[in-house]
Amino acid sequence: MVLLSFYFSVHIFIGDSGLSAMKQLELQHNRLSLRAKSLSSQRQLVETRIDALRRLHIDPDLLEEVVRNKLGFAHPDDIIVLMN
């Protein structure tokens, strides 16, 4: 009986479903929750940009930014520094 009690006591703390495993799962859950919140806010920013590009009236500043980045265009007043 004592051995049986000892066996179950050990598995409460050390086993696959023990307290240490529960603590690890809790930490993993917290990390993943933070990552999900971060990704959600990033997604919201991307959706806002997409919505701005889809409208009939495109924001000129956003259009200029996209054209400059994608096509490599520069404004005449820009100073270009080439780095190798």
Max mean pLDDT range (31-40, 62-71, 72-81) = 31-40
Average pLDDT over every residue of 66-70: 85
CA angle 41, 65, 52 (to 5 degrees): 50
Contact call for residues 60 and 52 (beta carbons, < 8 A)? no
Average pLDDT over every residue of 64-74: 84
Alpha-carbon distances, residue 22 vs 10, 15, 25, 74 (angstroms) = 15, 10, 5, 55
